Chains A and B, each alone.
Chain A
Amino acid sequence: MFVSYKWLQDYVDLSGVSASELAEKITKSGIEVEGVDVLNEGITGVVVGHVVERVQHPNADKLSKCQVDIGQGEPVQIICGAPNVAQGQKVAVATVGAVLPGNFKIKRAKLRGEESNGMICSLTELGVEAKVVPKEYSEGIFVFPQDAEVGTDAIALLNRNDEVLELGLTPNRADCLSMLGVAYEVGAILGREVKLPEIDVQPVNEKASDYITVKVEANEDNPLYAAKVIKNVKIGPAPLWMQTRLISAGIRPHNNVVDITNYILLEYGQPLHAFDYDRLGSKEILVRRAHDGEKFLTLDDVERTLTSDHLVITNGKEPVALAGVMGGANSEVTSDTTTVLLEAAYFTGGTVRKASKDHGLRSEASARFEKGVDPNRVRAAGERAAYLMARYAGGEVLEGASEVNTLTVEPAVVSITLEKINSVIGTNLTVQDVEAIFERLQFTVNVEENVITVTAPTRRGDIKIEEDLIEEVARLYGYDNIPKTLPIGSATPGKLSDYQEKRRIVRQYLEGAGLYQAVTYSLTSEEKAAQFALEKRDFIRLAMPMSEDRSILRLSIMPQLLEVLKYNSARQNDSLAVYETGAVFLANGNEVLPEEQEHLAGAVTGLWHSHSWQGEKKAVDFYVLKGILEGLFAKLGLTESVTYVQAKVDNMHPGRTAEIHLNGERIGFVGQVHPTMQKELDLKDTYVFELSLKAVLEEATTALRYEAIPRFPSITRDIALVVDKETVSGVLKDVIQSAGGKLLKEVSVFDLYEGDRMEEGKKSIAYSLKYMDPERTLTDEEVTKVHTQVLEALKTQAGAVLRG
Chain B
Amino acid sequence: MQERLKELQQEAIQKIEQSSSLKELNDIRVAYLGKKGPITEVLRGMGKLSAEERPIMGALANEVREAIATTLEAKQKDLEEAAVLEKLASESIDVTLPGRPVKVGNHHPLTRIIEEIEDLFIGMGYQVAEGPEVEQDYYNFEALNLPKGHPARDMQDSFYITDEILLRTHTSPVQARTMEKNQGKGPIKIICPGKVYRRDNDDATHSHQFMQIEGLVVGENIRMSDLHGTLEIFAKKMFGEDREIRLRPSFFPFTEPSVEMDISCMICGGHGCNVCKKTGWIEILGAGMVHPNVLEMAGYDSKKYTGFAFGMGPERIAMLKYGVDDIRHFYTNDVRFLKQFSKHE
- Indicate with 1 or 0, residue by residue over A511-546, a CB within 8 angstroms of chain B CB atoms: 111111111111100000000000000001111111
Is A72 an interface residue when CB atoms closer than 8 A count as contact? no
A385 to B230, CA, bound (A): 51
Are B332 and A485 in touch, CB under 8 angstroms?
no
Are B336 and A573 in touch, CB under 8 angstroms?
yes
Taking CB atoms and an 8 Å cut-off, the chain A residues in 479-510 that contact chain B are 479-480, 482-497, 500, 504, 507, 510
Are A521 and B289 in touch, CB under 8 angstroms?
no
Chain B interface, DSSP helix/strand/loop, else mixed:
mixed
CB closest chain-B residue, reference A577: B105
A/B pair count, beta carbons within 8 Å: 250
Taking CB atoms and an 8 Å cut-off, the chain B residues in 223-276 that contact chain A are 223-226, 228-230, 232-233, 246-251, 253, 256-260
Are B335 and A514 in touch, CB under 8 angstroms?
no
Assuming the contacts A171-B152, A467-B257, A491-B125, asked whether A28 and B161 have C-beta atoms less than 8 A apart, the reply is no
Assuming the contacts A170-B250, A515-B105, asked whether A494 and B134 have C-beta atoms less than 8 A apart, the reply is no
Is B65 an interface residue when CB atoms closer than 8 A count as contact? no
Is B101 an interface residue when CB atoms closer than 8 A count as contact? yes
Are A591 and B98 in touch, CB under 8 angstroms?
no
A544 to B161, CA, bound (A): 8
Stretch binding the partner chain, chosen from A448-456, A469-477, A755-763: A469-477
Is B203 an interface residue when CB atoms closer than 8 A count as contact? no
Taking CB atoms and an 8 Å cut-off, the chain A residues in 541-567 that contact chain B are 541-546, 550, 553, 564, 567
Q: B133, B199, B291 — which one has the most chain A CB atoms within 10 A of its CB?
A: B133
Taking CB atoms and an 8 Å cut-off, the chain B residues in 274-303 that contact chain A are 289, 291-292
Q: Which residues of A contact B197 (CB under 8 A)?
A: 522-523
Are A517 and B111 in touch, CB under 8 angstroms?
yes
A488 to B125, CA, bound (A): 12
Are A522 and B330 in touch, CB under 8 angstroms?
no
Stretch binding the partner chain, chosen from B1-9, B37-45, B48-56, B115-123: B115-123
Assuming the contacts A474-B257, A523-B208, A567-B332, asked whether A511 and B107 have C-beta atoms less than 8 A apart, the reply is yes
Within the complex, what minimum Cβ distance (angstroms) separates B184 from chain A? 16
Is A205 an interface residue when CB atoms closer than 8 A count as contact? no
Q: Which residues of B contact A550 (CB under 8 A)?
A: 208
Q: Which residues of A contact B209 (CB under 8 A)?
A: 521-523
Q: A424, A512, A590 — which one has the most chain B CB atoms within 10 A of its CB?
A: A424
- Indicate with 1 or 0, residue by residue over B128-147, a CB within 8 angstroms of chain A CB atoms: 10101111100000000000
A466 to B165, CA, bound (A): 33
Is B91 an interface residue when CB atoms closer than 8 A count as contact? no
A571 to B107, CA, bound (A): 21
Are B217 and A487 in touch, CB under 8 angstroms?
yes
Q: Which residues of B contact A504 (CB under 8 A)?
A: 115
- Indicate with 1 or 0, residue by residue over B213-229, a CB within 8 angstroms of chain A CB atoms: 00001011111111011
CB closest chain-B residue, reference A564: B333
A567 to B333, CA, bound (A): 8
Within the complex, what minimum Cβ distance (angstroms) separates B148 from chain A? 10
Assuming the contacts A423-B223, A470-B256, A514-B103, asked whether A494 and B331 have C-beta atoms less than 8 A apart, the reply is no
Are A485 and B228 in touch, CB under 8 angstroms?
yes
A463 to B197, CA, bound (A): 31
Q: Which residues of B contact A427 (CB under 8 A)?
A: 225
CB closest chain-A residue, reference B303: A420
Are B161 and A350 in touch, CB under 8 angstroms?
no
Is A17 an interface residue when CB atoms closer than 8 A count as contact? no
Within the complex, what minimum Cβ distance (angstroms) separates B13 from chain A? 50
Which one of B111, B123, B334 lies within 8 Å of A519 (CB-CB)?
Answer: B111
A715 to B152, CA, bound (A): 76
Which one of B151, B165, B256 lies within 8 Å of A593 (CB-CB)?
Answer: B165
A567 to B220, CA, bound (A): 52
A179 to B172, CA, bound (A): 35
Within the complex, what minimum Cβ distance (angstroms) separates A161 from chain B? 22
Q: Which residues of B contact A495 (CB under 8 A)?
A: 122, 127
Is B183 an interface residue when CB atoms closer than 8 A count as contact? no
Is B187 an interface residue when CB atoms closer than 8 A count as contact? yes
A74 to B195, CA, bound (A): 72
Is B306 an interface residue when CB atoms closer than 8 A count as contact? yes
**Residue tally, chain A, CB below 8 Å to B:** 94
Within the complex, what minimum Cβ distance (angstroms) separates A754 from chain B? 29
Which one of A173, A492, A541, A594 lies within 8 Å of B127 (CB-CB)?
Answer: A492
A426 to B227, CA, bound (A): 10
Is B339 an interface residue when CB atoms closer than 8 A count as contact? yes
A371 to B151, CA, bound (A): 7
Assuming the contacts A423-B223, A479-B247, A542-B160, asked whether A494 and B291 have C-beta atoms less than 8 A apart, the reply is no
Assuming the contacts A350-B149, A370-B151, A470-B257, asked whether A542 and B159 have C-beta atoms less than 8 A apart, the reply is yes
Is A705 an interface residue when CB atoms closer than 8 A count as contact? no
A424 to B105, CA, bound (A): 47
Is B201 an interface residue when CB atoms closer than 8 A count as contact? yes
Assuming the contacts A467-B292, A519-B331, A591-B162, asked whether A585 and B122 have C-beta atoms less than 8 A apart, the reply is no
Q: Which residues of B contact A30 (CB under 8 A)?
A: 248-250
Is B124 an interface residue when CB atoms closer than 8 A count as contact? yes
Assuming the contacts A593-B132, A593-B165, A609-B103, asked whether A489 and B219 have C-beta atoms less than 8 A apart, the reply is yes
Q: Which residues of A contact B336 (CB under 8 A)?
A: 571, 573
Q: Which residues of B approach A to under 8 Å, CB–CB?
A: 97-98, 100-101, 103-108, 110-111, 115, 118, 121-128, 130, 132-136, 149, 151-152, 154-155, 159-162, 164-165, 167, 186-189, 195, 197, 199, 201, 208-209, 217, 219-226, 228-230, 232-233, 246-251, 253, 256-260, 289, 291-292, 306, 330-336, 338-339
Q: Which residues of A approach B to under 8 Å, CB–CB?
A: 27-32, 170-173, 349-350, 353, 370-371, 423-427, 465-468, 470-471, 474-475, 479-480, 482-497, 500, 504, 507, 510-523, 540-546, 550, 553, 564, 567-568, 571, 573, 576-579, 582-583, 585, 590-591, 593-594, 596, 608-609, 611, 613-614
Pairs A-B, 9 closest by C-beta atoms: A426-B225, A514-B103, A170-B251, A471-B257, A426-B223, A30-B249, A479-B247, A484-B229, A475-B249
Query: Can you identify 30 A-B contacts, CB atoms within 8 angstroms?
Result: A31-B249, A32-B248, A349-B151, A467-B256, A467-B257, A467-B289, A467-B291, A467-B292, A475-B249, A479-B228, A484-B225, A485-B229, A486-B230, A486-B233, A489-B220, A492-B127, A492-B189, A494-B124, A495-B122, A497-B128, A512-B104, A513-B105, A516-B333, A516-B339, A517-B105, A519-B108, A519-B111, A519-B331, A596-B132, A609-B103
Given contacts A471-B257, A487-B219, 12 further A-B contacts (CB under 8 A): A353-B151, A470-B256, A483-B229, A490-B187, A494-B189, A495-B127, A513-B105, A520-B333, A523-B159, A523-B208, A553-B134, A593-B136
